[in-house]
């Protein structure tokens, strides 16, 4: 255990976000990673199995407790089962983010057999027309719904993830009811980050404004959540979430304990490494993971700088030691600086919507 993390300034490497495929079998209008379209997973880079195995081996002494398989589309990986087996043998919990197209009953059972499994499936509307408007492929709605059922029948409590655009804002409750019928355990509502295709959607005026999102979040948190057996999570910066809801969840940004592993084998802050080369830290198998985790200049700056280096409204926000500036990767993409302010809260403040109780200074 010579690599065990003992230095108090270096947190454990808890989770690796594994972007298994460069391609995706959907063509979502909002995707923040903009992967290349790939109907069957044969056309673009996939993370080599031996690279993943080596990364898990190196990461265990650093504190690895879970891997998140995402993409692109993780189930397009031709040896997905081998990856699950490697994680399982290492006793590492397996999380999967999928569009559900390839989630057969066998795949659902495979994931259910992994340690502490968790799967989320993207469904963006309560009907095929709405979902497929956003996801770009006919038939994807039925397959996503079937995936949730398959996962539920395999004994999991899958999460439905709904990405909010103008087109589907009126379907929030309908998606919750549909998720209940499909056997989901929770629903998460995501905002579109203005990165890659998400930025194009924003320019096309297809995204809800800050005010609409704040209002929808309030309805979900203070009304809808009490009327469903499932847990609901509205992904909005913490300044906008009721304190009672924050206290009951243990959600806070994991940026201090995660690392991204791209399909090319590169280590990065997260999937943003596909868009921003400065946030790529080295190459798995070639560069020593312990050296990167302990010695990366960017990771060191983040550890030393959060939350006190956050700028603008994030610097004054009373939630910043918990929120950690919402998304440093997004800040970097937009501003060339990780320290923000985060676009959503900046816009909210400009529009007079930022809650006065959550900001430092006198009100």
Residue numbers of the site for another protein (CB under 8 A)?
Answer: 222, 242-244, 246-247, 318, 355-358, 360-363
3-class secondary-structure state, position 218? helix
Residue whose CB is less far from another protein, 138 or 363? 363
Residues contacting residue 276 through CB under 8 Å, at least 6 positions apart: 329, 332, 333
Residue among 238, 253, 255, 251 nearest 303 (CA) = 255
Judged by CB under 6 A, the stretch of 93-101, 163-171, 172-180, 323-331 that binds ligand SF4 is 323-331
What does the alpha-carbon distance between residue 149 and residue 271 come to, in Å, rounded to a whole number? 28
Q: Please choose which of ligand SF4, another protein, none residue 31 contacts, taking the beta carbon within 5 to 8 angstroms, the exact cut-off set by kind.
A: none
- Of 59, 319, 328, 338, the one binding ligand SF4 (CB under 6 A) is 319
What does the alpha-carbon distance between residue 265 and residue 47 come to, in Å, rounded to a whole number? 6
User: Shortest approach of another protein to residue 348 CB, angstroms?
Assistant: 16
What does the alpha-carbon distance between residue 172 and residue 283 come to, in Å, rounded to a whole number? 41
Q: Please choose which of another protein, ligand SF4, none residue 139 contacts, taking the beta carbon within 5 to 8 angstroms, the exact cut-off set by kind.
A: none
Q: How far is CA 190 from CA 16, 30, 127, 169, in A?
A: 21, 11, 18, 11
Q: Please choose which of ligand SF4, another protein, none residue 342 contacts, taking the beta carbon within 5 to 8 angstroms, the exact cut-off set by kind.
A: ligand SF4
User: Shortest approach of ligand SF4 to residue 208 CB, angstroms?
Assistant: 17
Q: Please choose which of another protein, ligand SF4, none residue 205 contacts, taking the beta carbon within 5 to 8 angstroms, the exact cut-off set by kind.
A: none
> Site residues for ligand SF4, window 221-240 (CB under 6 A)?
237-239
Q: Please choose which of another protein, ligand SF4, none residue 222 contacts, taking the beta carbon within 5 to 8 angstroms, the exact cut-off set by kind.
A: another protein
320 touches ligand SF4 (CB under 6 A): yes
Per-position DSSP letters for 266-319, written without gaps between them: EEESSGGGGT-GGGEEEETTTS-HHHHHHH-HHHHHHHHHTTTT--HHHHHBTT
Yes or no: say if 261 and 77 are a contact pair by the CB < 8 Å rule: no
192: tokens are: 């579109």
Residue whose CB is less far from ligand SF4, 119 or 310? 310
Q: Which residues sit at the interface with ligand SF4, rule CB under 6 A? A: 237-239, 313-314, 317, 319-320, 323, 325-326, 342, 345
């Amino acid at each position: 255990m010579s690599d065990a993390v003992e230095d108090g300034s270096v947190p454990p490497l808890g989770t690796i976000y594994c972007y298994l495929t460069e391609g995706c079998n959907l063509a979502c209008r909002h995707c923040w990673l903009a992967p290349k379209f790939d109907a069957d997973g044969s056309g673009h880079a996939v993370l080599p199995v031996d690279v993943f195995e080596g990364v898990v081996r190196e990461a265990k002494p650093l504190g690895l407790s879970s891997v998140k398989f995402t993409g692109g589309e993780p189930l397009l990986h031709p040896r997905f089962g081998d990856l699950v087996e490697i994680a399982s043998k290492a006793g590492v919990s397996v999380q999967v983010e999928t569009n559900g197209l390839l989630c057969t009953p066998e795949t659902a059972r495979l994931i259910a057999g992994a340690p502490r499994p968790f799967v989320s499936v993207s469904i963006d509307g309560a009907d095929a027309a709405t979902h497929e408007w956003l996801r770009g492929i006919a038939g994807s709605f039925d397959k996503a719904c079937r995936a949730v059922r398959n996962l539920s029948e395999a004994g999991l409590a899958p999460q439905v993830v709904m990405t909010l655009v103008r087109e589907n804002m009126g379907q929030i409750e309908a998606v919750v009811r549909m998720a209940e019928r499909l056997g989901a355990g929770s629903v998460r509502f995501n905002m579109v980050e203005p990165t890659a295709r998400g930025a194009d959607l924003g320019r096309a005026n297809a995204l809800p404004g800050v005010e609409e999102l704040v209002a929808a979040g309030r309805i979900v948190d203070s009304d809808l959540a009490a009327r469903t057996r499932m847990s609901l999570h509205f992904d909005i910066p913490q300044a906008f979430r009721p304190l009672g809801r924050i206290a009951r969840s243990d959600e806070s940004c994991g940026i201090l304990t995660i690392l991204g592993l791209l399909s090319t084998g590169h280590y990065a802050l997260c999937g943003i490494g596909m868009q921003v080369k400065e946030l790529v830290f080295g190459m798995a198998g070639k560069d020593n993971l312990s050296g990167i985790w302990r010695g990366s200049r960017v990771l060191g700056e983040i550890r030393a700088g959060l939350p006190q280096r956050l700028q603008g409204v994030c610097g004054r926000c009373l939630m910043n030691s918990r929120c950690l500036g919402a998304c440093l990767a997004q800040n970097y993409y937009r501003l060339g600086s990780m320290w923000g302010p985060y676009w959503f809260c900046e816009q909210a403040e400009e529009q007079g919507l930022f809650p006065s109780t959550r900001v430092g200074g006198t009100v």
